[in-house]
Amino acid sequence: MILPKGREFTPAQLTEVTEIVGEFGCRIQPIIGALRSIYAIVGDERDELMMNRLEGLSFVERVDRIQSPFKLMDVRSDLARHAIQLGGVTLGRELCVIAGLCTIDPKNPNYFYETAAAVKEAGATALRGGVWKPRTNPYSFQGDDRSLDILMEGSRRTGLPVDAEVMDEHQLGLALAAGVPVLQVGARNALNYSLLQQIGRAIAGHGTVVLLKRSIHMGPINEFISAAEYIVSFGNPNVILCPRGTAPTLDGYRSHPDESIVPLLKERTWAPVIVDPSHSVGKASYVPAAALAAVAYGADGLCIESHVAPSHGIGDDPKQAITPEVLKTLIAKAREVWAVVRRK
Query: Which residue number has the CB closest to ligand PEP?
Result: 186
Q: Does 244 bind ligand PEP (CB under 6 A)?
A: yes
Query: Which residue number has the CB closest to Mn ion?
Result: 102
Rounded CA separation 112/185 (Å): 21
Which residue of 30, 87, 100, 130 would you call a contact of ligand PEP, by CB under 6 A?
130
- To ligand PEP, the closest distance from the beta carbon of 184 in angstroms equals 6
Binding partner selected for residue 241 from ligand PEP, Mn ion, none, CB under the kind-specific 5 to 8 Å limit: none
CB nearer ligand PEP, residue 56 or residue 193 = 193
- To ligand PEP, the closest distance from the beta carbon of 315 in angstroms equals 7
Nearest Cα residue to 288 out of 226, 238, 337? 337
Rounded CA separation 80/160 (Å): 26
CB nearer ligand PEP, residue 30 or residue 161 = 161
Which residue of 2, 101, 102, 104 would you call a contact of Mn ion, by CB under 5 A?
102
User: Of 285-344, which residues contact Mn ion (CB under 5 A)?
Assistant: 316
Nearest Cα residue to 114 out of 83, 142, 150, 143? 150
Q: Does 213 bind ligand PEP (CB under 6 A)?
A: yes
DSSP conformation letters of 56-101: T-TTEEEE----SS-TTTBTTSGGGG---EETTEEBTTB-EEEEEE
Burial 308-320 (b: 16+ CB within 10 A, else e): bebeebbbbbebb
Q: DSSP 3-state assignment of 189? A: coil
Rounded CA separation 88/165 (Å): 21
CB nearer Mn ion, residue 86 or residue 102 = 102
Which residues are at the interface with ligand PEP (CB under 6 A)? Answer: 102, 130, 134, 186-188, 213, 244, 279, 316
